[in-house]
């Protein structure tokens, strides 16, 4: 029993270290749109700052974008980078705006271990802002579910 506990402890420590390495690599990247922490706080609402700059998560079902059905695009709330088309939005029944595809070249990905298991974090390729996570349980044709925080996005109708 002791050996099993020790092994599980090592396993957990390794996962935590991997998570820290993944986070530090993503955070160390330099993005074209950069501001000081104080400037981000001025530019963003408190909720946007919490999500985009501190990797927070909004309360499920709280975003008005969850029910947005008009034609248009969803852009990064921090820098205006076009991320998703309304043509790829769908109701995933998760409580967050979800998309089955992204605008090519608009996002970056990294692995996080915030929940104790690996997830693929999605961030804006221009500012590095945290947007949400992508999962492999979405609809065809991609099979992806880009589960985004609505407060990290702004909708622009076309």
Residue 96 near residue 128 (C-beta atoms within 8 A): no
Q: How far apart are CA 83 and CA 105, in angstroms?
A: 9
Kindly report the number of other CB atoms within 10 A of residue 66's CB atom.
19
Active site residues: 147
- 3-state DSSP helix/strand/coil percent for the chain, to nearest 5? 30, 25, 40
Q: What angle is formed at CA 117 by the lines to CA 24 and CA 142, rounded to 5 degrees?
A: 90
């Amino acid at each position: 029993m002791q050996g099993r506990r020790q092994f599980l402890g090592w396993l957990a420590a390794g996962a935590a270290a991997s998570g820290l390495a993944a986070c530090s690599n993503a955070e160390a990247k330099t993005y074209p749109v950069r501001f000081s922490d104080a400037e981000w706080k001025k530019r963003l609402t408190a909720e946007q700052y919490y999500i985009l700059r501190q990797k927070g998560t909004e309360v499920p079902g709280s975003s008005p974008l969850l029910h947005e059905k008009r034609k248009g695009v969803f852009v990064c709330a921090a820098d205006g980078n076009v991320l998703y088309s309304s043509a790829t939005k769908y109701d995933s029944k998760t409580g967050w705006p979800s998309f089955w595809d992204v605008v090519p070249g608009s996002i970056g990905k990294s692995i996080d271990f915030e929940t104790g298991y690996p997830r693929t974090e999605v961030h804006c390729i221009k500012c590095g802002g945290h947007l949400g996570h992508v999962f492999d349980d979405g609809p065809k044709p991609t099979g992806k579910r880009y589960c985004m925080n609505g407060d990290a996005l702004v909708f622009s109708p076309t």
